[in-house]
A and B are shown apart, each in its own frame.
Chain A
Amino acid sequence: MTGLSTKSKSKHFVIIGNGIAGVTCARHLRKADQNCQITIISGESKYFFSRTALMYIYMGQMKYEHTKPYEDWFWEKNNINLIQAWVSEVDTDNKQLIFSDKTIFDYDVLIIASGSKPNKFGWKGENLNGVQGLYSLQDLELMEQQTHGISKAVVVGGGLIGVEMAEMLASRKIPVTFLVRERNFWDNILPMEEAKLINRHLLEHHIDLRLATELDEIIGDENGAVKAVKIDSGETIACQFVGLTVGVSPNVDFLKGTAIELGRGVKIDGYFRTNIADIYAIGDCAEFLEAPAPDRKNIEQVWYTGRMQGETLAYNLTQAKPVKYQPGIWFNSAKFFDIEYQTYGFVPPAWGKEFESFYWEDQGGKTAIRFLYYKSNQQISGVNAMGWRLRHEYFDNAIQKGFQLEKVISELGKASFNAEFYQPFHQEVLQQYNTQFGKSIKQSKQSFLQKLIGSRL
């Protein structure tokens, strides 16, 4: 049997997965090389859509079309071939993919960007109807069906997807019980004050938040549908839907039994190379043999890292001298119902003796900022902000260059990214800093003229 692809002299890059990692890689391959052949294969959808926007479709805030970052003509115009199919096997000897319908497809270079799948931990009842995770478009469709007309839902797992699911259900006026294993929401990432701030906000949104609570089992009815969950205290909570959002893991089952080395994900070196020549992996599905930086994990499961890995691999595949993947200052963001969260640099939930923290929280309890800095030289290592937008460019520079806390505090107006006419919280932060440290530093002031023309600081 011959492959589908037409033979050509230029290289044929085949990418499994049309998520942010695969698509970014394809776009940059095309930018660097007008002649190569590029195919993206994905089972989930023909066109790239933004996974991070799945919740908004359910909430009626957007339609599926709105989640596509590029219009449909974009792919043809850039000569990127899209195939909607599931790859079920990879024949590394013959450089061929085998689709679930047994079609065979040739590649010269294979890029695996197959993303993640929701975790399941072998709970009793986890396969009942009405029990599901949320990762793909198909999951969303299922959730649409399974939550139709229900009167109670339980979400298990206090991470980012869990809180999104709670918000989704709440937007449809479905009462939600939210089971969180940690003592405070997401406190394996957030320091206690921030975590508690979010606890309060969830309660304000009438989420029945159960902290330090674990799922025991899911109870079904005679039709195989969920009717309740039992938690570790022995209490049962009646419900018709259970969202399992206890993390994700690399979606690599289809590679089992091939020569490609797998750990939890596809094992790669700092250049995204697997153990097989001409096969690379990027994004959620990739597991670095060695973490890319001391404060990074071996598997990076966020949007931004998928994008950066895609860019970098495309560079390596088209330039003579490949570079090692080297992410810069860490950054991330999320939104918990109405409260936005941004973080730059290194702010773990708990820190060692070499660090000190400066934390300010607004009286309303919905806006907060934390700086972590080195005791020895006062240089900041990172910042967390709740309900306060910060300027990425400023903090990327400040953390890299090791700005001292005092400098950053006095420049907070400039470092802020809040909309115009926003409450000037930076004055309050400055005051607290002055009181706490017995200082009298001042904010760089705007002149009258600058104020008049609304110039940025």
Chain B
Amino acid sequence: MKIMQKIGLGLFLLAMLSFSFLPFVGSYQLEADIVRAETKDIHQEAMLEILQPMYGKSYDSNIRFIADFNEYFNAYNEGLKKAEEWDRVIWDDYAFALTKAASTGPVGEQPYLYLGITVLLGVIGALLYILPLYRGQPEGIKNDGIFFSSMKSRGLIGILTGSWLILFYIVLYWFPEYLTNLVLMVDPLSMALSGNPASQWFLYGFVYTLAILVMGIRMFRKYRGNNYQMIRTASVMFFQLAFAFMLPEILVLLNMPWHDFKNIWPLDYSFFYDYRLDGMLGSGALGMFMLVWGIILIVLGVPIFTYFYGKRWYCSWVCGCGGLAETLGDPYRQLSDKSLKSWKIERYLIHGVLVFAVVMTAVTLANYFMEFELLGYATNELHTVYGFMIGSAFAGVIGTGFYPLMGNRVWCRFGCPLAAYLGLVQRFKSRFRITTNGGQCISCGNCSTYCEMGIDVRWYAQRGQNIVRSSCVGCGVCSAVCPRGVLKLENANEEGRINDMPIIIGNKSISIKS
């Protein structure tokens, strides 16, 4: 390791440490004014009273502040619940907003400084480490030492990293009030982009985009010489930065609903939720365009593009989840399980989630159009369950937190309902396949090992069979790492694409079907 890389790694670790501890600095003081400003009119009176004991009291840690808040707030709600006064219970979550507003620490005063010693320092450290990678070495993909690396082969460092990510996601989704310092630090940025203060989702989107950009640069180093990898990586970097991060914020600046034009239902499972539909319908021509565009993508975009290019047009070129998996997740691709058993589980799970998403959306729409009171309850329940189990726990906590434990495509492989839909089209009606080059396979297993989707590519390649699998996201890495030039991602005539009983070229004695 070059000295610069060591410095980079050191800076990155320092940045991670400060990012992890920053949430716990500063002091908090709640005043009636703050409560008045941050609560809805209907709750104002109650909230002002509930939180009265906290006014004027200075807390030197958010943990104690939040503990007190929860105590008073829950006591109030519990009392009402016991008395079965359901309509007076406050269901809104004010913990995040109030904690953020009550913060009087240094972060709010000098957000740029803290952004600098956490995120910016992390980016600089990572780049110092990444840019010198493979310098002075001939072009060629090197996977040397991956299984000796504790980080990349589920060693202690990998497990610690996974645990950190899992913890971060749990706090982000369910306890964002503990992250207010981090959110405060990106407030000015959010104000500049959308004219609004930052939420935890802005923070997340910001860090997420940076991760794709920085690790995308790593992809350029690692796969240099392989144009397919370069172009594909540039594409996910672009779509994340422009479509997922910048454009939605600009829309908000223009008083439009936050909207990611490349996100497609059912991955974008809330697309048909009433507030989204109302938001789009209430935003004039652009809002109408959002709705129509979204529907066109679902009914025409997915089948047509997938027919011509395979599901890769989305999963490894455009999608945000895919974008993170292909960049931040690339060092973990070898950890996906290749067993037949995991393939079975995969098919049950992913199609199960698809069915769930479709049923939920059907109920939602029925409820929306008929304004049928009975379905209202079912809709809410379904939304809550889906949002918790699939949207947050599966896609977020497991999807990304498990990168260092189960590989970088856990969500895309086992959970994503859009991937399931794209996969059905790819499997049954597409010009895309991975062609196996006659009899050249030596069964070495590089392709299977580095398949992030857990496809046992070798199983097909060694019997001279093309790979046509619904889960293949077309990342092209099997082809890139094959030492014998056996695999090629291709769009071509459907004829001859699926060869169930292949004959391996080269033996004239017999034509044996493998």
Q: Do A and B bind each other?
A: yes
- How far apart sit A73 and B408, CA to CA, in the bound complex (Å)? 27
- Within 8 Å of chain B (Cβ to Cβ): is A335? yes
- How far apart sit A420 and B442, CA to CA, in the bound complex (Å)? 23
- Within 8 Å of chain B (Cβ to Cβ): is A315? yes
Looking at the complex, which one of A59, A63, A171, A392 makes contact with B439 (CB distance below 8 Å)? A392
Looking at the complex, which one of B138, B144, B459, B489 makes contact with A60 (CB distance below 8 Å)? B144
- How far apart sit A325 and B226, CA to CA, in the bound complex (Å)? 40
| B282 to A: closest C-beta gap in Å | 38
Residue among B140, B504, B506 with the highest chain A CB neighbour number at 10 A:
B506
Which residue of the partner chain A has the closest CB to B476? Answer: A419
| B49 to A: closest C-beta gap in Å | 63
Looking at the complex, which one of A20, A201, A308, A333 makes contact with B485 (CB distance below 8 Å)? A333
Task: Decide if A311 touches B507 in the complex (CB within 8 Å).
Answer: yes
Which residue of the partner chain A has the closest CB to B448? Answer: A66
Binds A, one of B9-17, B145-153, B171-179: B145-153
Task: Decide if A389 touches B228 in the complex (CB within 8 Å).
Answer: no
- How far apart sit A20 and B441, CA to CA, in the bound complex (Å)? 12
| A29 to B: closest C-beta gap in Å | 12
- How far apart sit A423 and B226, CA to CA, in the bound complex (Å)? 10
Which residue of the partner chain B has the closest CB to A339? Answer: B140
Task: Decide if A312 touches B505 in the complex (CB within 8 Å).
Answer: no
- How far apart sit A333 and B437, CA to CA, in the bound complex (Å)? 12
Task: Decide if A396 touches B438 in the complex (CB within 8 Å).
Answer: yes
- Within 8 Å of chain A (Cβ to Cβ): is B444? yes
Name the B residues within 8 Å of A193 (CB-CB): none
Task: Decide if A340 touches B509 in the complex (CB within 8 Å).
Answer: no
- Within 8 Å of chain B (Cβ to Cβ): is A99? no
Q: Which of A312-365 contact B (CB under 8 A)?
A: 312, 315, 323-329, 331, 333-335, 337-338, 340, 342
Looking at the complex, which one of A60, A67, A418 makes contact with B146 (CB distance below 8 Å)? A60
**How many B residues, CB 8 Å from partner?**
54
Name the B residues within 8 Å of A201 (CB-CB): 138
- How far apart sit A56 and B139, CA to CA, in the bound complex (Å)? 19
Number of A-B contacts defined by CB within 8 Å: 174
Which residue of the partner chain B has the closest CB to A319? Answer: B510
- Within 8 Å of chain B (Cβ to Cβ): is A422? yes
| B280 to A: closest C-beta gap in Å | 31
- How far apart sit A328 and B512, CA to CA, in the bound complex (Å)? 13
Looking at the complex, which one of A68, A393, A454 makes contact with B438 (CB distance below 8 Å)? A393
Name the A residues within 8 Å of B140 (CB-CB): 337-338
- Within 8 Å of chain A (Cβ to Cβ): is B99? no
- Within 8 Å of chain A (Cβ to Cβ): is B240? no
- Within 8 Å of chain A (Cβ to Cβ): is B458? yes
Looking at the complex, which one of B145, B308, B445 makes contact with A50 (CB distance below 8 Å)? B445
- Within 8 Å of chain B (Cβ to Cβ): is A150? no
Task: Decide if A53 touches B491 in the complex (CB within 8 Å).
Answer: no
Asked whether A417 and B146 contact (CB < 8 A) given A338-B138, A392-B439, A454-B309, the answer is no
Name the A residues within 8 Å of B437 (CB-CB): 389, 391-393, 417
- Within 8 Å of chain B (Cβ to Cβ): is A189? no
Asked whether A337 and B138 contact (CB < 8 A) given A60-B148, A389-B488, A392-B438, the answer is yes
Q: Which of B12-28 contact A (CB under 8 A)?
A: none
Task: Decide if A392 touches B443 in the complex (CB within 8 Å).
Answer: no
Task: Decide if B440 touches A342 in the complex (CB within 8 Å).
Answer: yes
- Within 8 Å of chain A (Cβ to Cβ): is B384? no
| A356 to B: closest C-beta gap in Å | 26
Task: Decide if A56 touches B439 in the complex (CB within 8 Å).
Answer: no
- Within 8 Å of chain B (Cβ to Cβ): is A304? yes
Name the A residues within 8 Å of B443 (CB-CB): 20, 50, 52-53, 69, 303
Task: Decide if A419 touches B445 in the complex (CB within 8 Å).
Answer: no
Name the B residues within 8 Å of A393 (CB-CB): 437-438, 505
Which residue of the partner chain B has the closest CB to A74? Answer: B340
Task: Decide if B506 touches A419 in the complex (CB within 8 Å).
Answer: no
Task: Decide if B444 touches A419 in the complex (CB within 8 Å).
Answer: no
- How far apart sit A421 and B227, CA to CA, in the bound complex (Å)? 6
Task: Decide if A56 touches B446 in the complex (CB within 8 Å).
Answer: yes
- Within 8 Å of chain B (Cβ to Cβ): is A61? yes
Name the A residues within 8 Å of B479 (CB-CB): 419
Task: Decide if A311 touches B508 in the complex (CB within 8 Å).
Answer: no
Task: Decide if B458 touches A421 in the complex (CB within 8 Å).
Answer: no
Q: Which of B214-265 contact A (CB under 8 A)?
A: 226-228, 231
As a 0/1 sequence over residues 175 to 197 of chain A, the CB contacts with chain B under 8 angstroms (1 = contact) are 00000000000000000000000
Name the A residues within 8 Å of B484 (CB-CB): 333-335, 340, 342
Which residue of the partner chain B has the closest CB to A52? Answer: B442
- Within 8 Å of chain B (Cβ to Cβ): is A276? no
Name the A residues within 8 Å of B144 (CB-CB): 59-61, 171
Asked whether A389 and B507 contact (CB < 8 A) given A62-B449, A453-B308, the answer is no
Task: Decide if A52 touches B444 in the complex (CB within 8 Å).
Answer: yes
- How far apart sit A454 and B317, CA to CA, in the bound complex (Å)? 15
Name the B residues within 8 Å of A62 (CB-CB): 147, 445-446, 449
- How far apart sit A342 and B484, CA to CA, in the bound complex (Å)? 8
- How far apart sit A325 and B506, CA to CA, in the bound complex (Å)? 12
Task: Decide if A312 touches B309 in the complex (CB within 8 Å).
Answer: no
Task: Decide if B510 touches A315 in the complex (CB within 8 Å).
Answer: yes
B interface with A by C-beta (< 8 Å)? 138-140, 142-149, 226-228, 231, 308-309, 339-340, 431, 435, 437-440, 442-446, 448-449, 458-459, 462, 476, 479-480, 483-485, 488-492, 504-510, 512
Task: Please list the 3 inter-chain residue pairs (A to B) with the smallest Cβ-Cβ separation, ordered nearest first.
Answer: A392-B438, A338-B140, A389-B485
23 A-B residue pairs with Cβ-Cβ distance under 8 Å, sorted by A, are A52-B444, A60-B143, A61-B147, A62-B446, A63-B147, A71-B340, A307-B504, A308-B506, A312-B512, A315-B512, A326-B508, A326-B509, A328-B505, A328-B506, A331-B438, A331-B506, A333-B442, A334-B484, A338-B140, A392-B438, A419-B227, A419-B228, A454-B309
Contacts beyond the supplied A61-B146, A417-B485: 4 A-B pairs with Cβ under 8 Å: A62-B445, A311-B507, A331-B505, A419-B227
